[in-house]
């Protein structure tokens, strides 16, 4: 008897099919891993099951009933629980208050009785948690337990956890799986969305792998290996090679990153002593699954985050960290991860194009409109930006906003280019354009660090590939010696050594 | 001794309208809305209550009118800031300006240019407890004052001991979490505004229907702003808001008393103190102040 | 989220954007007609008195300039601050600080020529306004304390300080009233239009509005200010010193509000009184919001509100409509304008 049967699910966003005729079955008493790269369609599928999205095609049968799931409330009523990566907790409330919120059951509340109820629920499921504790003061792992308790309190029989271990320490991760095992013993079904293969292998009964919106494998965990799963997930047959070889004096180190460590907002170590060099005329790609420290690395290198330890130098000169102005001084060109943070959307294209060179375009505090306009006109032509100088940047398409950032950055002849997700969310034409521009910079002798979740992009452009996992660089490949199987396993933590 | 008891009595009286305003504002802010319309809301309520009482001859009808006006203006605040999602402080100030203008305009229409308006023939009486004892000056108060003190535990109960209060607070702290728990953020915020508006209305009515038994232009005289200060000073907690209101009332009572005794003293210093204390308190607690986290933020569901 | 921003976000055709103020004014007058009818007057007659009649007479036209003067200044002060993402609700207190400085300086400059005395007052008033804006600004920049409530509370504090001074050490010994002694003749602003009350303050206000326009559109500081106001993270990414920019914005805003006080003391009253401002600081918020946080907008909005204020004087005299009609119209117009802009945006978005 299947608890959840999703059959032939298709969900399109525009022309893109995020889920393409997906079959997904969950049985009671199993922990089921839903595996896939970023953008493989895992989250979409689970949001459909939780009533957040409506499928375009397909049927969902939960416990024999195929009533449609119109909203999360419907899903909750049918026994679906969802623990998202971003907790929906009220930090100033107690554990008990958070668990009961919205489902109090009566008007008058008695804290002692609430605490007792929650403590009993926790105990019945093998948790230890203080129901009177203030949630904001709990560790991330404990907060996650509150989220699970919330789902259990609402009588969930299918518990979905989205990347549950992404934010956890190893010890919390262990504790989490212990809890999940106990839930499974009570015949609940647990679905974990993940891309960490070792976790899936160790802790689950079944796995389903999605790639590009399609199911590419669904089987008992015991009958597979992490190598096989990695191949299924990443699934590339050939390495595209059309790259020009690294040119110029590749021996000269331009960007020298030494021992960067930093903790994220929750105190979890996001980067652990990251060290690497980028030479003149070289593209170094950082490959990795999202959330393994790439964002923090980019933030540090773009002056937006101060590391706990470590240093960065350009052409042998140390860069003051945590100050965006220092980047401009050291000719570090920056293409930020979130392009809307790299521009002021309400200001004009012309203004945005010169914002890093204000000194050049002002005289005694007075802007030089003629020079600014001329500069803008030139860059708009050079970089084929489809806009006029006076247009507010936010009215542009994503690709054109990216071109504005490229134009601003690359026109300053940077010694180093930090390109973070440079083609995320832009169309094919703009993608090719960005790639062409980065290649030009390489030919000019710039040292380029490419951080991307798009493995194809990394493979296409990089002379050298560094693999990041859990805040550490765990492997390095030369472009002509990429072993895709090993790369997949390193990225997904299936193999721990570099 | 008698001096102290008289002072206590005056403190309770002076604290009353501020306490109503502050409790009302506290409820609203706890749901995530800063209602800068309070000053005008109290003024128009005081006015409307007075007019209704005067025309109908019923102070109870006056009180009901004042409450209704408080609620109506709060609903307007809700429409602008919740439904339309407009900038809360601009809307709030707009409502204060609108309500003040309306009160003065209508006053002139109804009572013409007379500088002293007709007073109420019958206003709310004082309720004298402990008559003839030394405590009499403390407990010669309007029923509003006794009621105000009952509202403090009542609101504390409502906020902390009922599912409604839990939901209201969740909406002010993390509306996304409330929404995912199936709570209607909009409806909860509207209800908070209604409760708050009713309390502000009672505060205005106390002045025009009880303490003064008349309406003047300066009847609120910044009490709404004081209430906002006291809510912060009281850390958005009913009992501490009460303490703040009493502190303010006490300082003002002391000031009046000293003036009456002919003590030469810049009394404004005492009046200014609650504001200064509030700003100092904000500066000291800084980010740690327990601001409802969603204060000033309109809620829009993602996607 | 400011109004100006919303207006710009409209992808609507220019004619529609140009029509928005007129639509808002029309709706406002429709709503207010109810009150006018309550007052027993004909709404059309009142509209004529409010909007047309003042423009037909020289004296009334001059009065409009006089009435526009303080709100041009507070409107500019608020527009600058809001454009920079700093919600200065404290123009009222900053105005009083500037007024007090002007009254104090004006009292002691009898021996100096007007060419020295008046600039001293202007500079002193600007500094006083800026200083009064300093505390909330520092709290904001250093401790991330929200400025809305602190600037609001500072208004009341300044009110009491002025009251304490005027009832105490600064009471005018000649009249005995709670007002400061009259400022020296050389400190009294000259009239700039013969046989009217239009004084130097209007010129100052005009210069400030032009300066506002220049700062916002032509200077590096203005660009940085707008960048910070629109996207703080982005501004930081681009190397702008966000805290310093915000602090400077707040201080200049306070200084400009202080000038409104200087203008009222130097050009109208010649002394400081507690009731110097009937809420010019708050009206400044209306002006700035209606003016979409731009200098030309502030100019038009202030003149329009002054027109309505002046018109409501005549309307009250001629048609026996309470003069407070002007206040009501200002507030209704503000709320209607906010709503119209938003509804318009929604309609466009759905289309």
- The fold for domain B2-116+145-288 equals ABC transporter involved in vitamin B12 uptake, BtuC (1.10.3470)
* % of chain A at pLDDT higher than 90: 69
Please tell me the predicted confidence (pLDDT) of residue B126. 87
The answer on A204 and A258 residing in a single domain is no
Picking from A72, A92, A106, the nearest residue to B163 by CB comes out as A106
Separation between Cα atoms, residue C134 and residue C254, nearest integer Å: 8
The structure tokens listed for A35 are 């595996």
Instruction: Identify the domain containing residue A409 by its residue range.
Output: 253-491
- What digits encode the pLDDT tens for the residues A323-340? 999 999 999 999 998 888
Residue with tokens 């969603």: B294
If you count residue pairs, one on A and one on C, with CB atoms under 8 Å apart, how many are there? 71
Structural domains of chain A, count:
2
Separation between Cα atoms, residue C232 and residue C244, nearest integer Å: 12
Find the mean pLDDT for residues C218-227: 97
Instruction: From B192, B195, B190, B187, select the one nearest B70 (Cα to Cα).
Output: B195
Radius of gyration of the CA atoms of chain A, in A: 25
Question: Are A88 and B166 inside 8 Å of each other by CB?
Answer: no
Please tell me the predicted confidence (pLDDT) of residue B140. 84
- What digits encode the pLDDT tens for the residues B2-32? 788 889 999 999 999 999 999 999 999 999 9
Q: Which chains does A contact via 3+ CB–CB distances below 8 A?
A: B, C
Separation between Cα atoms, residue B159 and residue A255, nearest integer Å: 57
Question: Are A344 and C224 inside 8 Å of each other by CB?
Answer: no
Residues of C in contact with B226 (CB under 8 A): 156
Does residue B186 surpass a pLDDT of 80? Answer: yes
The answer on A257 and A224 residing in a single domain is no
The answer on A160 and A31 residing in a single domain is yes
Separation between Cα atoms, residue B290 and residue A69, nearest integer Å: 38
Residues of C in contact with A324 (CB under 8 A): 236-239
The answer on A437 and A387 residing in a single domain is yes
Please tell me the predicted confidence (pLDDT) of residue C2. 31
Band the pLDDT of C135: cuts 50, 70, 90: very high
Band the pLDDT of B115: cuts 50, 70, 90: low
Does residue B295 surpass a pLDDT of 60? Answer: yes
Domain-ending residue, one of A202, A234, A266:
A234
The answer on A128 and A47 residing in a single domain is yes
* Partner B contacted by C52 (CB < 8 A): no
Please tell me the predicted confidence (pLDDT) of residue B169. 97
As a CATH number, domain C3-350 is: 1.10.3470
Strand order in the sheet with A283-287: A332-335, A416-420, A447-452, A283-287, A464-469, A472-478
Question: Are B102 and C334 inside 8 Å of each other by CB?
Answer: no
Does residue C127 surpass a pLDDT of 80? Answer: yes
Picking from C164, C328, C330, the nearest residue to B269 by CB comes out as C164
Separation between Cα atoms, residue B70 and residue B79, nearest integer Å: 14
Q: Determine contact, residues A476/A487, Cβ cutoff 8 Å.
A: no
Residue in C with minimal Cα distance to B93: C282
Please tell me the predicted confidence (pLDDT) of residue B289. 65
Question: Are B180 and A88 inside 8 Å of each other by CB?
Answer: yes
The answer on A440 and A314 residing in a single domain is yes
- What digits encode the pLDDT tens for the residues C94-116? 999 999 999 999 999 988 999 99
Picking from C148, C286, C342, the nearest residue to B34 by CB comes out as C148
Burial label, C144 (beta-carbon count in 10 A; 0-12, 13-18, 19+): exposed
- What digits encode the pLDDT tens for the residues C280-298? 999 999 999 999 999 999 9
Please tell me the predicted confidence (pLDDT) of residue C46. 94
Does residue C7 surpass a pLDDT of 50? Answer: no
Encode chain A (498 residues) as per-residue pLDDT tens digits. Answer: 789 999 999 999 877 889 999 999 999 999 999 998 777 889 899 999 999 899 999 999 999 899 999 988 899 999 999 998 889 999 999 999 999 999 998 999 999 999 999 999 999 988 889 999 999 989 888 999 999 999 999 999 999 999 898 777 777 888 999 999 999 999 999 999 987 888 899 999 999 999 889 999 999 999 998 888 888 887 765 445 455 555 544 679 999 999 999 997 767 789 999 999 999 999 999 998 888 899 999 999 999 999 999 999 999 999 999 999 999 999 999 999 888 889 999 999 999 999 999 999 999 999 999 999 999 999 999 999 999 999 999 988 888 999 999 999 999 999 999 999 998 878 778 888 999 999 999 999 999 999 998 888 999 999 999 999 989 999 999 988 888 888 888 888 776 544
Please tell me the predicted confidence (pLDDT) of residue C351. 30
Does residue C89 surpass a pLDDT of 90? Answer: yes
Residue A247 lies in a domain: no
Band the pLDDT of C182: cuts 50, 70, 90: very high
Separation between Cα atoms, residue A455 and residue A212, nearest integer Å: 13
Question: Are B268 and C154 inside 8 Å of each other by CB?
Answer: no
- Residue boundaries of the structural domains of chain B: 2-116+145-288
Give the C window 210-249 contacts with B, CB below 8 Å. none
Separation between Cα atoms, residue A149 and residue C289, nearest integer Å: 47
Please tell me the predicted confidence (pLDDT) of residue B302. 60
- Residue A128's CATH number: 3.40.50.300
Separation between Cα atoms, residue B235 and residue B245, nearest integer Å: 12
- β-pair type (A189-194, A31-35): parallel
Residue with tokens 């002193």: C124
The answer on A295 and A344 residing in a single domain is yes
Residues of A in contact with B166 (CB under 8 A): 93, 97, 100-101, 104, 109
The answer on A203 and A275 residing in a single domain is no
Please tell me the predicted confidence (pLDDT) of residue A373. 95
Please tell me the predicted confidence (pLDDT) of residue A232. 86
Please tell me the predicted confidence (pLDDT) of residue A243. 55
Please tell me the predicted confidence (pLDDT) of residue C3. 32
Residue in C with minimal Cα distance to B226: C153
Please tell me the predicted confidence (pLDDT) of residue A266. 67
B164: closest CA of chain A, how far (Å): 7
Question: Are B166 and A101 inside 8 Å of each other by CB?
Answer: yes
Please tell me the predicted confidence (pLDDT) of residue C12. 60
Whether complex ipTM tops 0.90: yes
Residue A333 lies in a domain: yes
Return all residues near B155 (Cβ < 8 A) that are at least 6 apart: B23, B26, B27, B238
Please tell me the predicted confidence (pLDDT) of residue B133. 82
* Partner C contacted by A302 (CB < 8 A): yes
- Residue boundaries of the structural domains of chain C: 3-350
- What digits encode the pLDDT tens for the residues A260-277? 999 977 677 899 999 999
Question: Are C154 and B279 inside 8 Å of each other by CB?
Answer: yes
């Amino acid at each position: 008897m299947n608890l959840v049967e999703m059959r032939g699910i298709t969900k399109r966003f525009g022309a893109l099919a995020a889920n393409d005729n997906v079959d997904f079955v969950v049985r009671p008493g199993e922990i089921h891993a839903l595996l896939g790269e970023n953008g493989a369609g895992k989250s979409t599928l689970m949001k459909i099951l939780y009533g957040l999205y409506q499928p375009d095609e397909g049927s969902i049968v939960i416990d024999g009933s195929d009533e449609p799931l119109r909203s999360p409330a419907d899903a909750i009523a049918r026994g679906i629980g969802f623990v998202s990566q971003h907790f929906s907790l009220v930090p100033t409330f107690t554990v008990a208050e958070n668990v009961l919120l919205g489902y109090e059951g009566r008007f008058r509340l008695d804290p002692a009785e609430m605490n007792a109820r929650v403590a009993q629920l926790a105990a019945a499921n093998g948790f230890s948690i203080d129901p009177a504790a203030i949630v904001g003061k709990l560790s991330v792992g404990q907060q996650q337990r509150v989220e699970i308790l919330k789902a259990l309190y609402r009588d969930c029989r299918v518990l979905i956890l989205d990347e549950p271990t992404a934010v956890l320490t190893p010890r919390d991760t262990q504790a989490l799986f212990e809890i999940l095992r106990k839930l499974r013993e009570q015949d609940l079904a647990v679905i974990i969305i993940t891309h960490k293969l070792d976790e899936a292998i160790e802790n689950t009964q079944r796995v389903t792998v999605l790639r590009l919106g399609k199911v590419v494998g669904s089987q008992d965990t015991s009958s597979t290996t992490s190598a096989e799963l990695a191949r299924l997930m990443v699934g590339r047959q050939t390495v595209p090679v059309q790259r020009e070889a690294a040119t110029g004096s590749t021996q000269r180190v331009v960007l020298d990153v030494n021992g960067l460590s930093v903790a994220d907002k929750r105190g979890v170590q996001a980067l652990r002593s990251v060290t690497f060099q980028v030479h003149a005329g070289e593209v170094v790609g950082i490959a990795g699954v999202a959330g393994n420290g790439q964002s923090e690395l980019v933030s540090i290198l773009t002056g937006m985050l101060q590391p706990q330890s470590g240093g960065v130098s350009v052409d042998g000169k140390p860069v003051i960290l945590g100050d965006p102005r220092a980047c401009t001084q050291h000719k570090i060109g920056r293409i930020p991860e979130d392009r809307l943070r790299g521009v002021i959307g309400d200001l004009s294209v012309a203004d945005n194009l010169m914002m890093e060179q204000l000194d050049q375009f002002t005289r005694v505090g007075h802007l030089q409109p003629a020079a600014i306009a001329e500069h803008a006109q030139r860059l708009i032509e050079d970089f084929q930006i489809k806009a006029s100088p006076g247009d507010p940047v936010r009215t542009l398409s994503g690709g054109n906003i990216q071109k504005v950032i490229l134009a601003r950055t690359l026109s300053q002849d940077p010694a180093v280019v930090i390109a973070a997700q440079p083609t995320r969310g832009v169309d094919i034409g703009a993608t090719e354009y960005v790639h062409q521009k980065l290649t030009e910079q390489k030919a000019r002798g710039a040292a380029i660090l490419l951080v991307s979740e798009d493995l194809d992009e990394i493979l296409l452009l990089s002379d050298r590939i560094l693999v990041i996992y859990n805040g550490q660089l765990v492997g390095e490949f030369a472009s002509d010696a990429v072993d895709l199987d090993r790369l997949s396993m390193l990225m997904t933590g299936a193999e721990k050594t570099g | 001794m008698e001096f102290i008891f008289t002072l206590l009595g005056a403190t309770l009286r002076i604290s009353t309208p501020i306490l109503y305003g502050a409790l009302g504002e506290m409820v609203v802010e706890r749901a995530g809305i800063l209602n800068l319309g309070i000053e005008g809301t109290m003024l128009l309520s005081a006015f409307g209550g007075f007019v209704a009482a005067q025309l109908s001859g019923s102070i109870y009808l006056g009180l009901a009118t004042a409450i209704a006006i408080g609620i109506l203006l709060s609903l307007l605040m809700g429409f602008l800031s919740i439904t339309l999602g407009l900038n809360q402080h601009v809307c709030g100030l707009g409502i204060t300006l609108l309500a003040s203008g309306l009160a003065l305009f209508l006053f002139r229409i109804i009572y013409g240019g007379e500088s002293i308006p007709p007073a109420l023939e019958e206003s709310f009486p004082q309720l004298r407890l402990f008559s003839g004892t030394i405590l009499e000056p403390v407990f010669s108060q309007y029923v509003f004052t006794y009621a105000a003190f009952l509202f403090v535990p009542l609101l504390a109960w409502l906020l902390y001991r009922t599912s409604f209060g839990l939901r209201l607070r969740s909406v002010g702290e993390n509306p996304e979490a409330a929404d995912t728990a199936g709570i209607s953020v909009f409806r909860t915020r509207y209800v908070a505004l209604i409760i708050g508006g009713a309390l502000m209305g009672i505060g205005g009515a106390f002045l025009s229907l009880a303490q003064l038994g008349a309406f003047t232009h300066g009847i609120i005289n910044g009490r709404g702003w004081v209430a906002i200060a006291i809510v912060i000073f009281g850390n958005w907690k009913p009992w501490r808001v009460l303490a703040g209101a009493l502190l303010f009332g006490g300082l003002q009572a002391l000031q009046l008393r000293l003036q009456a005794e002919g003590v030469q003293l810049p009394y404004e210093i005492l009046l200014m103190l609650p504001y200064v204390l509030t700003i100092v308190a904000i500066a000291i607690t800084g980010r740690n102040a327990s601001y409802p986290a969603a204060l000033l933020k309109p809620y829009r569901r993602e996607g | 989220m400011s109004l100006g921003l919303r207006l710009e976000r409209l992808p609507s055709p220019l004619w529609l954007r140009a029509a928005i103020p007129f639509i808002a004014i029309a709706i406002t007058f429709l709503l207010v007609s109810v009150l006018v009818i309550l007052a027993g007057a004909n709404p059309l007659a009142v509209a004529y008195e409010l909007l047309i009649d003042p423009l037909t007479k020289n004296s009334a036209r001059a009065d409009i300039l006089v009435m526009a003067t303080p709100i041009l200044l507070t409107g500019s002060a608020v527009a600058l601050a809001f454009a920079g993402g700093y919600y200065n609700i404290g123009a009222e207190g900053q105005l009083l600080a500037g007024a007090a400085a002007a009254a104090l300086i004006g009292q002691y400059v009898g021996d100096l020529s007007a060419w020295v005395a008046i600039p001293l007052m202007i500079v002193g008033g600007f500094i006083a306004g800026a200083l009064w804006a300093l505390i909330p600004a520092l709290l904001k920049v250093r401790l991330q304390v929200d400025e809305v409530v602190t600037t609001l509370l500072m208004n009341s504090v300044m009110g009491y300080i002025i009251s304490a001074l005027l009832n105490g050490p600064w009471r005018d010994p000649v009249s005995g009233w709670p007002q400061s002694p009259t400022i020296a003749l050389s400190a009294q602003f000259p009239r700039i239009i013969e046989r009217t009350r239009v004084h130097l303050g209007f010129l100052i206000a005009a210069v400030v509005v032009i300066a506002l326009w220049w700062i916002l559109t032509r200077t590096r500081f203005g660009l940085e200010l707008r960048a910070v106001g629109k996207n703080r993270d982005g501004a930081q990414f681009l190397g702008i010193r966000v805290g310093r920019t915000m602090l400077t914005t707040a201080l200049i805003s306070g200084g400009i509000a202080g000038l409104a006080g200087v203008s009222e003391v130097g050009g109208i009253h010649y002394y400081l009184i507690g009731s110097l401002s009937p809420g010019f600081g708050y009206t400044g918020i209306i002006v700035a919001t209606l003016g979409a946080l731009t200098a030309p907008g502030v100019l038009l909005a202030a003149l329009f509100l002054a027109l309505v204020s002046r018109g409501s004087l005549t309307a009250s005299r001629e048609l026996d409509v309470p003069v407070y009609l002007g206040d009501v119209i200002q507030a209704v117009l503000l709320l209607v304008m906010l709503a119209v802009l938003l509804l318009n945006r929604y309609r466009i978005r759905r289309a």
